[in-house]
Amino acid sequence: RHLYTCTQNSLSLIISVFVYISTFYQAVLQALEDGLKKADADPSVKAVMICGENGKFSAGADIRGFSSPKTLGVALGPIVSLIESSEKPVVAAIEGVALGGGLEVALGCHYRVAHAKARMGLPEVTIGLLPGAEGTQRLPRLIGVPAALDMITTGKHIPATEALKLGLVDEIVEENTIEAAIRLANKVIGQPLGPRRLSLKPVPKLPNMEAFLQEAQVKVKRQARGFLAPELCFQAVQAATQRPFAEGVRRERELFQVLLSSGQAQALQYAFFAERAVHRWATPAQPTAASTFTVAGQGLGTMGQGIVTSLVKANIPVVALEQNLEYLNKGRKAVMVLLEREAKKMEGGAQKLDFHNPARLQFTVDFNLLHDVDLVIEAVFENMALKKEIFHKLSNICKPGALLCTNTSALDIDEIASATSRPQQVIGTHFFSPAHVMRLLEIIYGRHTSPSAIATAMQLAKDMKKVGVVVGNCFGFVGNRMMFPYVEQAVFLLEEGSRPEAVDQVLEDFGFKIGPFRMSDLAGLDVGWRSRKGQGLTGPSLPAGSSARQRRGQRYSPLPDLLCERGRFGQKTGKGWYQYERAGGRTATPDPWIHGFLSQYRDTHRIETRYIDQEEILERCLFSLINEGFAILAEGIASGPEHLDVIYLNGYGWPKHRGGPMFYASTVGLPRVLAKLQKYSEAHPDVPKLRPSAFLKKLVAVGNAPLKEWMSYLSRQSPKL
Ligand SMILES: CCCCCCCC/C=C\C=C\CC(=O)SCCNC(=O)CCNC(=O)[C@H](O)C(C)(C)COP(=O)(O)OP(=O)(O)OC[C@H]1O[C@@H](n2cnc3c(N)ncnc32)[C@H](O)[C@@H]1OP(=O)(O)O
């Protein structure tokens, strides 16, 4: 909004462009263009400095504006060229963030000065696009192909210190960035600008450029699994290595248009805002212990270790408790290994991990040390009796205001709370494994959980840099409840004639990192087996005379139980739905034993084997999961479809470029989802999860309502959501 220019010795005017989350970026671009032209034409102006406002350079374009193609990055390209071609040195003063179009503007400048705390990146790939304002052509010329490819295909934000090492910025400062940029501008007045114009520079050569690119392309393709943007980002950078600048820019624009019309960009942009909408979710109450928790982690198994590690990473003081010294020492060792690893990753960054200080992290077997903590996260074995015993003890020992959280993936929060004298302070916190890596935290409120307890758990998620999603209490909550019918269909498909590798392949082609059978093998088949035994579906508590393939009048497949009875627990035993090179091995190979076992099983149960095509595999698995999502919304277990999508994107490996299951359903079209469910349900009348939910039917009946209107068709919402 202001134009300062540097005269020989004094500062008179600076362009200050604020494009942080602005919906007016067209106006900003115009102002930038006008200001530059004015500065160029004014002989009293000797140099130009571009900065942001309020300590932020630019977060790039307003993502909401991407729905109208005319207002896109391509409009920025000529302005970046204009900056670069200026006859007066232009210096970028980068504070806060320089992202996307913001960083492309900085790349057009002849010099870049950054504050030590600034972050830079080209995150377009994460919203399904590529840097379309010549960034894919300038960045490799500045920092080389490997580093540029890494930044552009991952979209990662890098700290200023790393940017300096890469040569992305010329200088970093701890104090006033703008003054430093002006100093630099004054210093370079009169120096030749040719060598500072990135479009004129060759892309730095690599001795093995072709081999490097080939390898990089394979890696990008492997990781992308149908997600177009990383591959097209790669192609744009590759063009920089093969063509002159202007031709590279033309290629960049072509690829940008492909992405824009792919549908994937819309899905990713939906996901971006869905995550923020879930973050914004608030109860009328305030958190009781915001940001000053002392947390006790109870139980140092795999989950507990991850939870303690993420608490320490979040700079929250932790008391880690185990039931005996043997388990404590084992847990402590594992936590220390994780923390050392995390500390290494953070080396060179602004933040240090403080975990050798007993005031920050303490290990104990003494329950009484929990007396003063603000919040406890219990992470013991998934067993109701054990959890109730612990909650009873916690309720007696912890101070009156302390929040009691249980890490459970399916158990009833109300029943756990009933063991305490303070059910209003009991809440479920479902972490995902590995808990120090996975961002999702399902926060489950019970019948008596108070709004301030929910607010405190949300605050905890925020402090731990996790995506907290508040949901109601039901078996499996949201994520696992939707997962059950998906896995159930996968197993039914095996009964009917498919193979684990065929089902997995279809879902991996859809974009999941691993299909349901690889996932079961990884998680351990015994986990579900234990749960089914607990529910009386298999094992000794199964009533005598039960039919092998029916439970409570519904279709049931005993296949996973039969595998467990044979000791096939998955990766840990070297055999499950696949075979592995050894117990604990990770390379899954189709197992002829399983194929033989399945055909014998079909013979025994007189099931006619049939060929099942990819469409049926995909639809039965995904539509049954989505159908459950509609039931969850109708029951008021979640606030809206965005919440379900955020859970699936952050906790269940749902491919981001498909926007989440409910968004996906909206792109397929609800009438089609309904018609397919009806068809499969008629073919399998004993499978209730294929019966279309009443809410889905209603949305179709009102004319395929758009996703953002779905909730308005429900009369009942949970009072706590
Ligand atoms: C001086 C230089 C001039 C430069 C001119 C640039 C003109 C650009 C022209 C063309 C460019 C095209 C390419 C692009 O730039 S694509 C966009 C690339 N940028 C991004 O992807 C950044 C996305 N945002 C983030 O990563 C984060 O929001 C961050 C900026 C790091 C801030 O994080 P945090 O502090 O955690 O805050 P939130 O994420 O919660 O965001 C706060 C609210 O702001 C909304 N937001 C953020 N970024 C954008 C955006 N780019 N467009 C629209 N809205 C954005 C976000 O939704 C939050 O709002 P709400 O809670 O209401 O949803």
Q: Per-residue pLDDT tens for 232-289? A: 999 999 999 999 999 999 999 999 999 999 999 999 999 999 999 998 876 666 666 5
What does the pLDDT average to over 502-513? 96
Cα 608 to ligand 1 centroid, rounded to whole Å: 55
Is the Cβ atom of 101 under 6 angstroms away from ligand 1?
yes
| Whether residue 185 has pLDDT greater than 50 | yes
Token couple for 647: 């859970």
Q: Tell me, what's the pLDDT at 28? A: 84
CA dihedral 448, 451, 457, 459 (to 10 degrees): 180
Of the listed 84, 95, 104, 252, which one is catalytic? Answer: 104
Q: Tell me, what's the pLDDT at 145? A: 98
Q: Tell me, what's the pLDDT at 546? A: 82
The length of the chain in residues reads 721
CA dihedral 230, 490, 599, 548 (to 10 degrees): 160
Confidence bin at 716 (pLDDT 50/70/90): low
Sign of the CA dihedral running 159, 161, 162, 163: positive
| Whether residue 467 has pLDDT greater than 70 | yes
Burial class (CB in 10 A: 0-12, 13-18, 19+), 226: middle
pLDDT above 70 coverage of the chain, percent = 92
Confidence bin at 8 (pLDDT 50/70/90): very low
What are the tens digits of pLDDT across the range 71-96?
Answer: 554 489 999 999 999 999 999 999 99
CA dist., res. 235 & res. 232, Å (int): 5
Q: Which residue's CA is the closest to the ligand 1 atom numbered 61?
A: 276
- Contact at 8 Å (CB) between 101 and 73? yes
Integer angstrom CA distances of residue 454 from 287, 289, 451, 481, 632: 8, 11, 5, 21, 19
Confidence bin at 65 (pLDDT 50/70/90): confident
Determine the residue of 17, 22, 30, 63 to mutate for testing ligand 1's pocket, defined as the one with the most ligand atoms within 8 A of the Cβ atom.
63
Among 486, 456, 393, 467, residue whose Cα is nearest residue 687? 486
Is the Cβ atom of 1 under 6 angstroms away from ligand 1?
no
Round the average pLDDT of the chain to a whole number and report it.
Answer: 91
What does the pLDDT average to over 216-228? 94
Of the listed ranges 96-110, 295-309, 693-707, the one predicted with least confidence: 295-309
Q: Tell me, what's the pLDDT at 721? A: 59
Q: Tell me, what's the pLDDT at 24? A: 52
Q: Tell me, what's the pLDDT at 195? A: 97
Whether 124 is a known active-site residue: answer yes
What are the tens digits of pLDDT across the range 627-642?
Answer: 999 999 999 999 999 9
Q: Tell me, what's the pLDDT at 16? A: 43
Q: Tell me, what's the pLDDT at 424? A: 97
Angle CA 114–118–123, to nearest 5: 110
Q: Tell me, what's the pLDDT at 381? A: 84
What does the pLDDT average to over 9-28? 48
Q: Tell me, what's the pLDDT at 113? A: 98
Q: Tell me, what's the pLDDT at 21? A: 35
Residue 541, phi then psi, degrees to nearest 5: -85, 0
Q: Tell me, what's the pLDDT at 571? A: 96
Q: Which residue's CA is the closest to the ligand 1 atom numbered 45?
A: 21
- Name the residue with higher pLDDT: 527 or 244: 244
| Whether residue 70 has pLDDT greater than 70 | no
DSSP lists the bridge partners of residue 115 as: 173
Q: Which residue's CA is the closest to the ligand 1 atom numbered 2?
A: 102
Q: Tell me, what's the pLDDT at 177? A: 97
Confidence bin at 7 (pLDDT 50/70/90): very low
What does the pLDDT average to over 374-397? 93
Q: Tell me, what's the pLDDT at 14? A: 45
Q: Tell me, what's the pLDDT at 486? A: 98
CA dist., res. 144 & res. 299, Å (int): 47
What does the pLDDT average to over 397-404? 94
Q: Tell me, what's the pLDDT at 75? A: 84
Residue 42, phi then psi, degrees to nearest 5: -90, 110
Confidence bin at 119 (pLDDT 50/70/90): very high
Cα 19 to ligand 1 centroid, rounded to whole Å: 9
- Contact at 8 Å (CB) between 114 and 160? yes
What does the pLDDT average to over 494-521? 97
What does the pLDDT average to over 521-539? 90
Token couple for 567: 């000791």
Token couple for 38: 């004015």
Q: Specify the DSSP element, H or E, that contains 304.
A: helix 302-313
Integer angstrom CA distances of residue 233 from 240, 289, 346, 408: 11, 44, 27, 40
Confidence bin at 410 (pLDDT 50/70/90): confident
| Whether residue 11 has pLDDT greater than 50 | no
Q: Which domains does the chain have, with CATH numbers?
A: 2-262 (3.90.226.10), 295-471 (3.40.50.720), 498-604 (1.10.1040.10), 614-713 (1.10.1040.10)
Cα 123 to ligand 1 centroid, rounded to whole Å: 10
Cα 173 to ligand 1 centroid, rounded to whole Å: 24
Q: Which residue's CA is the closest to the ligand 1 atom numbered 22?
A: 59
Amino acid, single-letter form, for residue 389: E
Confidence bin at 346 (pLDDT 50/70/90): confident
Is the Cβ atom of 170 under 6 angstroms away from ligand 1?
no
Q: Tell me, what's the pLDDT at 302? A: 87
Q: Specify the DSSP element, H or E, that contains 243.
A: none
Cα 485 to ligand 1 centroid, rounded to whole Å: 37
In terms of DSSP bridges, do strands 158-159 and 119-121 run parallel, antiparallel, or are they unpaired? Answer: antiparallel
